Structure 1
Amino acid sequence: MKLWRVVAGVLAVGFIAAGVTPAWACACGGYLPDAQSRARAYGENALVQHDGGTEKITLSMAINGISKKAAWIMPVPAAAKVELGDDQLFYRLDRLTRPKIVYKKTYWPFRDLGIMRNSRGLAGEAAPGSGVNVRQQMVLGPFAVARLTGSTGTAVTDWLRTNGYVVPATLAANLTPYLTEKWEIVAVKLAPKRDGESLSGATPPLRLTFASQRIVYPMRLSKGATTSQTVTVYVAAEHRVDATKLPDASVKPELLFAGRVEDAALTTPANFLTAYTATYSEPGRITDDFTFAPSATDAEYQRVEVVTTNDGFWSTVGVLFGGLLLIGVGAAVIARVLVRRSRLS
């Protein structure tokens, strides 16, 4: 499958056509399929790496369906370098942060009675157009990339429309807080080599590198989402991190993993990986970005999954027979002792 076929599903900055309401992806950007498709983004994975004053965000979205047009917008706090990421990155991170499996045995008489039943997730202990400055335009693999700054959300969305992005009605308002804070906007759209081809599935990762004194993962654009979204954020830094600001204060992210790991993408000493996941069933409640700060300690954490196996009927019979035999032997010994004592007395 061609690389850009896999990507189309991730990127879409919008469309308003024939009254169709677009669906936004969670976290930094928005996925909006073309009007003829029913593709939707339902989640994303992101690796946030912070070392000194430099941050890297590598992002991949999960797409359900097929889209012939795709685009994506990501705000970042400073000028960004944009590159393609490692296709195998999130596969490796998933393996590194999986739960530890603990096996326990049960026996036939107690099977399905709730006794010794397994527990899951037990703890083991986050240009053209007035008012727009186009800093860079380039073609990167299957993507056409533009780096922009703008005076207003309307100025930026007007530029996007003029340059082939079909923009949802809510985008200008959702961009305004970032533009007020002088953030840069990275706009990405699919640049297929042949007409009529489409994309689906997980998108190839894109990596953005920029200056930042704090660890931040932009989320405020996601308030335009119309469906439930799940985001998993892996933070690689010198120490374990806590989520100090949440996109929606009522949604507490689940800690998946914390510990030092070895991976080609992570350099020492910024190889302490902390992983969080969160699901936003009401994206409209999102009002802030994720920010992370060092934890008080580098305490490691790994989930534990207990898997119960059953040894079956004959193993159970053997266990029961052995138990009865031991009881019988014990009873015989006690009887002999009592008889001996009665004779002596």
Structure 2
Amino acid sequence: MRLWRVLAGMLAVGFIAAGVTPAWACACGGYLPDAQSRARAYGENALVRYDAGTEQITLSMAINGSSKKAAWIMPVPAAAKVELGDTALFNRLDHMTRPKVVVRKTYWPFRNLGIMAGGGDTAGAAAPGSGVNVREQMVLGPFQVARLGGSTGSAVTDWLRTNGYVVPAGLAANLTPYLSENWEIVAVKLAPRTDGDTMTGATPPLRLTFASDRIVYPMRLSKGASTAQTVTVYVASAHRVDATKLPDADVQPELLYAGRIQDDAMAAPADFLTAYTVTYRDPSKITGDFTFDRAATDDEFQRIEYVTRNDGLLSTIGVLFGVVLLIGVGAAVIARVLVRRSSTGRPGRPTDIV
């Protein structure tokens, strides 16, 4: 069965003073913090689970610095159910996909000399006249969520601007391809629970569930980012998947892991996890979206990390004593053979008795 997935992109937008337009910086579009902060989003973690035409995406953004308010905009290909995600999910995923550690020993004084180390490392409700349909509004924990339909990119950005979002130049043009395909726009405001608090680190995960017959990671929104962006995508499905279309043909994603796993969030049949990571150092070169499809095989893959461990002086003394002992035993054997040869004139045979 042909397997496609659609991974929704993410555009983070902050609340700032009127007329102030900071640079975009997010893995899938932009992060605009409030006017008093210098926070920027530099990466994104996403789990995509797909089973029988239903896709579920859980997203979390990594923030460098802090801000009092922020927002996301996420295009999805069909009406979405929006929920809070599991806050421990990405810690579990990181643990599952870590490299296998292989320890290689060395002994003083050979520390860090590469001696005895083996081979090299491998890695393995519509606003009147606006052209926007507000389909649903809700509050989920720290999130205020609005599901929007729109006729054009400019109509959606006008709605965002009217409702307190700062709209970067180019956003309307980047949204237009998705709206022309009747995608839904999920606008999410995020603010701390307590006045005066700030947000930093990773944002709370948000989970969206919708119908889909393929997956497209809408990276076209990332063209507006002004700094390098890192995206890590975990795809849970019935089989291993390949990245079959790249946002930037010159930037290849790195395979982190492929294999069957056991986790409630990725229960069978969507229990084969494939993980990729990629960094776009020049987001302006992004021209398309990511797509994933079933791989030719379900071969498993895990990176290997080699660790060289020195056992210290005491272990070295033991090793050297063993070496000396072996040398001594060998010397004694050789000496005995030589004595016997000198006494008989024939190697390895005792003296004849007359």
Larger-Rg structure: 2
Residues 211, 242 of structure 1: alpha-carbon distance in 2 compared, 3 angstrom cutoff: same
RMSD: 2.1
Cα distance in 1 for partners of 2:132, 2:21 equals 28
The aligned runs of 1:20-59 (5 Å cut-off) are 20-27=21-28, 30-59=30-59
Asked whether the 8 Å contact 2:241–2:274 carries over to 1, the reply is yes
Provide the residue aligned with 2:296 in structure 1: 296
Give aligned pairs, total. 333
Using the size of structure 2 for normalisation, the TM-score is 0.88
Unpaired segments ≥5 residues, structure 1: 1-9
Residues 251, 68 of structure 1: alpha-carbon distance in 2 compared, 3 angstrom cutoff: same
Provide the residue aligned with 1:270 in structure 2: 270
Cα distance in 2 for partners of 1:264, 1:255 equals 23
Quick check: 332-341 or 95-104, which moved more?
Answer: 332-341
Quick check: 316-325 or 137-146, which moved more?
Answer: 316-325
Deviation sequence 1:127-186 (CA, Å, 0-9, x none): 115222222111222111111121211111001111221211221111112112221111
What amino acid is the match of 2:48? V
Unpaired segments ≥5 residues, structure 2: 1-10, 346-354
Residues 120, 160 of structure 1: alpha-carbon distance in 2 compared, 3 angstrom cutoff: farther
Cα distance in 2 for partners of 1:333, 1:245 equals 69
- Offset, 1:31: 2.1
What amino acid is the match of 2:257? F
Provide the residue aligned with 1:82 in structure 2: 82
Provide the residue aligned with 1:7 in structure 2: none
- Offset, 1:198: 2.8
Query: Share of identical aligned residues, percent?
Result: 74
Pair 1:309 & 2:314 matched: no
Asked whether the 8 Å contact 1:174–1:221 carries over to 2, the reply is yes
Asked whether the 8 Å contact 1:17–1:35 carries over to 2, the reply is no
What amino acid is the match of 1:234? Y
Deviation sequence 1:60-83 (CA, Å, 0-9, x none): 011111112211101111111111
Cα distance in 1 for partners of 2:32, 2:326 equals 70
- Offset, 1:327: 1.6
Provide the residue aligned with 2:184 in structure 1: 184
SS of alignment partner, residue 113 of structure 1: coil
Residues 32, 316 of structure 1: alpha-carbon distance in 2 compared, 3 angstrom cutoff: same
Cα distance in 1 for partners of 2:160, 2:203 equals 22
Residues 118, 307 of structure 1: alpha-carbon distance in 2 compared, 3 angstrom cutoff: farther
Residues 110, 225 of structure 1: alpha-carbon distance in 2 compared, 3 angstrom cutoff: same
- Offset, 1:213: 1.0
Deviation sequence 1:234-260 (CA, Å, 0-9, x none): 000000111001121111111111100
- Offset, 1:17: 4.7
- Offset, 1:318: 2.6
The aligned runs of 1:12-23 (5 Å cut-off) are 12=13, 17-23=18-24
Provide the residue aligned with 1:105 in structure 2: 105
Deviation sequence 1:97-142 (CA, Å, 0-9, x none): 1111111110112112233559897235xx1152222221112221
Deviation sequence 1:285-341 (CA, Å, 0-9, x none): 112222111111111111111111112223223312321221221122122123213
Asked whether the 8 Å contact 1:13–1:30 carries over to 2, the reply is no
Cα distance in 1 for partners of 2:15, 2:250 equals 28
Residues 212, 15 of structure 1: alpha-carbon distance in 2 compared, 3 angstrom cutoff: farther
